[in-house]
Every structure is written in structure tokens, then in C-alpha cells.
């Protein structure tokens, strides 16, 4: 029952999201994210998240390995695999590669069942519709010196040859991640002697070693590159990374005739390293802009025609605070939400401008007409948001548009009067939410705060009637705040 519910919810997510994904068959380059890096390792939600981020697909991990004999792979359960495949197909999200990331930490040469582990990966690829995709095999677990340790290298080469031949027999290819440059990788591939093994290229390795990225790509050659982890170590987003000239990389890959998947593994902003949507949304957006020319136009059009460009830019900046809060700024979803919020500000400006014009002749009529339009459009705005956001996220948008006064005021009241009863707290919150619904339509920040000011007065009167001496409560609060080194 729960499985069917999960599928239904993910399918509904597909219906609620805009149809912006282009036909992948027409694409030369596909952009994806690594499910283990977006905190969705073998989780059903990875497909909806990938779609929200604007990715064409995902690199699905096989699950943890550690001291286990087998990967912690849910896809061995055929019923579970069918559920995942159904949701991915429903959302138009492809599985571009299947990763054995457990070998980042586990030594390939110490695993006697390495062929069985590879076969498990190949089975998962078949089940997930990745029959002609790539299996990712990092060699990090072999240690830093395997490439120069003759005995260790021979064992790595021998095992890679067997894995490659097994992959080739099933119409697949395994992309290995090595610490080598193009010259070293070409030598390794020559030793492995299997067309089933290629290089899963990694920009981070090239940058960290100070090698020339375009030159290394050209030397390695298109036929030897299975797929690319097109990101750097964590620090800044790709668009801000001076170490990778992405337009030049694309030009190089174009000239080489390469085509395939570019996956974002890292390149997270360390100031917000856990903000998945912002980090991966930004990086996916940038890669799609460089390699695919960007996204299709958002469904919601920005009502900017005939408006002063400087004013429009101001409104966009103000509205982006909402999408930043939700972590969706660089996604197709975020663009639609951004335009909805911008258009609401434009609409409010138009309503109040018309009111001010009519006031010259009939002030009462002008106010009544403005109130009527504000009332109708208020619910239209919330309805527009509901097409793209959950009720919880809509609440966050409202809070951003009203300077988070609800939370700030509520927290202050509870801190000032620690003895507030639950029903009193509920009443305070109810009035603050009511105030927010009015303030969100106010014509200026001053007017918004005036709305909250009236409700704060109502709250104070209510608390006084309940027997609280607000002057004493406030003085005691000031003392407590000063004692803990705070300010009011």
C-alpha cells in the first residue's frame, strides 16, 4: 500500500510541475546529478528532485558497500525496481549512469566477489532502463600508490579486464575514475585491453593536479571518455569557478565530437554546503546554459512590458529572496515562482497607482475599488503559487514578503512572557497570521509594518485583559536579554 502511495505522490508531482524537459534524443549533452550527493541515494524522491533541479537525469548509486558482501542495493528487489522505473519514466527523468561509489572507500583488489558486484550493477542498469548507459567505478579505495606499485597495478589491471569483458558481453561499459592524467589513462587502458572499460572523466582531478583541462581532454580522446563528472571540489558554484573555463571545455568537446552525460558531483558553495537545491540547482542551470543553451521559457511570463527596467530589476531582486529561501532560484520551478511573485508586486503597484489617480475625483470610490481588486487578486496570487509550491512553501513565501515579522513577533512575545499558556500562544499566532494576510498586500514596507503594529496592539490589550502586567514583563525581559549578552 505504501509503495503505491509513493508512486502516486511522485506521479502527482510530475503533473504539477511544468513540462520544460526537452526531448533528450535531440540533445548532444545531457546534464545529471549524483543521487548520493543530493542526499537521495536510492530514494524514490531523487527523480522529482532531479526534475525540480532542471536535470535531465540522475547517476543512481548502488548503495553503500562498507564491510558488506554486497551493495546495499534496493534494486535487487524486482518489485522495488519496477516502482523506481515507473516513477522515473513518469517524470521524464533518465538514469544516465549507475555508480558503484562504494569503491571510493573499498579496495577493488581485496574484493573476491568483484565480478558478482559488477554483475549486480549491470542488472540494476537493465532494470532502470540504463542498458546503454555507463557504470561508474572509482578506484579511490585501491589507495594512492596503486598506479606505481607494480604488483598492485597488475592486480587492478587484471580485475578491470575481467570486469570490462563482462560489461562488454552485456552491451555495457564501465567508466573508471583514476588519479591519472590523459597520458597515464591511455597507458592504463592499453594494459587493461578491454573495450568494456573507459574513463569516467573528472574535472576535479585535473584541476587539483594543475593540469590543462582542454589539452588533457583532447589527448585522451572522445572514444575513451564514457561520461564526465563535470564539477570541482566544494568551494564555489561552477559559474563562479575560475579554475574551469566551461565555455572552452564545451568548445573542446564539440571539436572532439564527444557526446554524453555531464554529472554534477560537487562544486557546492561551502557557505551553504547542505543546501541541495541551491547548490545543485545553480550548477545544473549553469551546465545547461553552457552546453544546451539554457531552459525553455517558463510557463509564467514576467509582466514587465512597458515598465521601467530599473524598477523591474528591483522587483526581481526583491522577489528572489523568496526563491532563495526555498532554495529553488536556479531551477525551472524557481523561475516560475519568481515570476509569480514579481507579477504580484507589479499588480499591487498597478492597483495602488490607479487608486491614487482616482482619488483626485472620488476618494471613497477609489479606496473601495482598490479594496475589491486587492481582495480578488490576493486569492489569485495564492492560487498561482499553489500550482508550483506546497502549502508549507507558500507560507515561507508569505513570510519573506512580510519581512518574517510573524516569527520575530511571536518569538519575542514568548520570550518576554515565558508563562504564556498554550491557548494564549495560539491566539497570538492566529492574529499574527491574520495580520500577515493583510500586510502582504500593503503598498509599502511602512504600511506592512503599520498593519502588524495594529495587531500587536490588539495582542497587548488581550494579554492585559488576561492579567499580565506588560510593563513588568517587559522590564524583566530586558534584564534577561542583557544578562545573556543580547540586545533589543
Q: How many CB atoms lie within 10 A of CB 302?
A: 19
State how beta strands 197-202 and 225-229 pair: parallel
Under 8 Å between Cβ of 178 and 199: yes
The 3-state secondary structure of 337-358, one letter per residue: HHHHHHHHHHHHHHHHHHHHHH
Q: How confident is the model at residue 11, as a pLDDT?
A: 45
Give residue limits of the domains in the chain: 28-292, 309-390, 402-483
Cβ(326)–Cβ(397) under 8 Å?
yes
CB-based contact 98:124 (threshold 8 Å): yes
**Cβ-based neighbours of 272, under 8 Å, separated by 6 or more:** 278, 279
Q: What is the DSSP string of 422-457?
A: HHHHHHHHHHHHHHHHHHTT-SSHHHHHHHHHHHHH
Other C-beta atoms lying within 10 Å of the C-beta of residue 405: 20
Instruction: Give 157-221 as a DSSP string.
Output: HHHHHHHHHHHHHTT-EEEEE-S--HHHHHHHHHHH--TTEEEEEEHHHHHHTT--HHHHHHHH-
Helix (H, G, I), strand (E, B) or coil at 68: coil
CA atoms within a 13 Å half-sphere pointing along the CA-CB vector of 188: 29
The architecture CATH gives domain 28-292: Alpha-Beta Barrel (3.20)
State whether residue 32 is helix, strand or coil. Answer: strand
pLDDT at 17: 45
Kindly calculate the radius of gyration of the chain based on its CA atoms and give it in whole angstroms: 28
d(CA 333, CA 54): 8
Residue 24 pLDDT? 42
Give pLDDT, residue 297.
86
Give buried/exposed letters for 144-173 (b at 16+ CB in 10 A, else e).
eebbeeeebbebbbebbbbbbbbbeeeebb
What was the pLDDT predicted at 26? 58
Four-point Cα dihedral 123, 162, 169, 94, nearest 10:
40
Ramachandran assignment for 485, one of left (phi > 0), alpha (psi -120 to 50 degrees), beta (any other): left
The pLDDT profile of the chain, 488 residues, written as one tens digit per residue, is: 444 444 444 444 444 444 434 444 458 999 999 999 999 999 999 999 999 999 999 999 999 999 999 999 999 999 999 999 999 999 999 999 999 999 999 999 999 999 999 999 999 999 999 977 899 999 999 998 999 999 999 999 999 999 999 999 999 999 999 999 999 999 999 999 999 999 999 999 999 999 999 999 999 999 999 999 999 999 999 999 999 999 999 999 999 999 999 999 999 999 999 999 999 999 999 999 999 998 888 999 999 999 999 999 999 999 999 999 999 999 999 999 999 999 999 999 999 999 999 999 999 999 999 999 999 999 999 999 999 999 999 999 999 999 999 999 999 999 999 999 999 999 999 999 999 999 999 999 999 999 999 999 999 999 999 999 999 999 999 999 999 988 87
Amino acid at each position: 500500500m505504501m509503495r503505491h502511495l509513493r508512486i502516486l505522490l511522485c506521479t502527482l508531482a510530475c503533473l504539477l510541475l511544468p513540462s520544460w524537459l526537452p526531448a533528450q534524443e535531440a540533445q548532444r549533452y545531457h546534464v545529471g546529478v549524483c543521487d548520493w550527493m543530493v542526499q537521495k541515494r536510492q530514494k524514490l524522491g531523487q527523480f522529482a528532485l532531479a526534475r525540480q533541479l532542471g536535470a535531465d537525469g540522475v547517476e543512481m548509486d548502488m548503495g553503500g558497500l562498507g564491510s558488506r558482501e554486497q551493495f546495499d542495493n534496493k534494486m535487487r528487489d524486482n518489485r522495488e525496481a519496477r516502482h523506481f522505473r515507473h516513477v522515473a519514466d513518469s517524470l521524464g527523468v533518465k538514469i544516465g549512469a549507475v555508480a558503484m561509489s562504494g569503491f571510493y572507500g573499498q579496495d577493488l583488489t581485496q574484493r573476491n566477489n568483484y565480478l558478482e558486484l559488477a554483475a549486480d550493477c549491470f542488472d540494476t542498469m537493465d532494470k532502470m532502463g540504463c542498458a546503454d548507459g555507463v557504470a561508474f567505478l572509482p578506484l579511490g579505495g585501491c589507495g594512492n600508490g596503486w598506479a606505481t606499485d607494480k604488483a598492485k597495478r597488475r592486480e587492478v589491471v587484471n580485475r578491470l579486464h575481467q570486469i570490462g569483458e563482462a560489461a562488454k558481453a552485456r552491451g555495457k561499459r564501465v567508466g573508471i575514475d583514476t588519479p591519472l592524467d590523459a597520458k597515464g589513462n591511455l597507458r592504463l587502458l592499453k594494459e587493461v585491453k578491454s573495450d568494456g572499460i573507459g574513463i569516467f572523466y573528472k574535472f576535479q582531478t585535473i584541476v587539483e593536479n594543475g593540469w590543462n583541462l582542454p589539452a588533457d581532454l583532447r589527448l585522451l580522446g572522445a572514444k575513451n571518455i564514457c561520461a564526465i563528472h563535470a564539477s570541482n571540489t566544494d568551494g564555489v558554484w561552477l559559474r563562479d569557478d575560475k579554475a574551469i573555463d566551461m565555455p572552452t571545455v564545451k568548445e573542446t568537446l564539440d571539436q572532439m565530437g564527444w557526446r554524453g552525460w555531464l554529472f554534477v558531483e560537487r562544486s557546492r558553495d561551502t557557505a551553504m554546503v547542505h543546501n541541495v537545491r541551491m547548490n545543485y540547482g545553480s550548477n545544473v542551470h549553469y551546465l545547461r546554459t553552457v552546453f544546451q543553451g539554457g531552459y525553455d521559457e517558463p510557463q509564467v511570463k514576467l509582466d514587465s512590458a512597458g515598465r521601467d527596467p530599473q524598477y523591474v530589476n528591483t522587483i526581481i531582486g526583491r522577489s528572489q529572496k523568496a526563491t532563495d529561501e526555498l532554495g529553488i532560484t536556479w531551477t525551472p520551478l524557481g523561475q516560475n515562482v519568481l515570476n509569480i511573485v514579481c507579477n504580484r508586486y507589479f499588480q499591487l503597484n498597478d492597483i495602488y497607482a490607479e487608486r491614487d489617480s482616482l482619488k483626485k475625483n472620488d476618494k471613497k470610490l477609489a479606496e473601495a475599488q482598490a479594496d475589491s481588486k486587492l481582495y480578488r487578486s490576493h486569492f489569485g496570487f495564492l492560487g498561482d503559487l499553489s500550482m508550483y509550491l506546497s502549502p508549507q512553501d507558500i507560507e515561507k513565501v508569505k513570510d519573506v514578503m512580510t519581512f518574517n515579522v510573524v516569527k520575530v513577533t511571536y518569538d519575542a512575545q514568548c520570550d518576554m512572557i515565558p508563562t504564556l499558556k498554550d491557548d494564549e500562544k495560539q491566539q497570538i499566532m492566529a492574529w499574527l497570521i491574520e495580520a500577515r494576510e493583510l500586510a502582504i498586500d500593503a503598498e509599502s514596507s511602512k504600511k506592512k509594518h503599520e498593519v502588524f503594529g495594529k495587531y500587536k496592539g490588539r495582542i497587548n490589550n488581550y494579554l492585559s485583559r488576561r492579567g499580565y502586567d506588560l510593563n513588568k514583563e517587559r522590564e524583566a525581559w530586558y534584564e534577561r536579554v542583557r544578562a545573556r549578552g543580547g540586545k533589543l
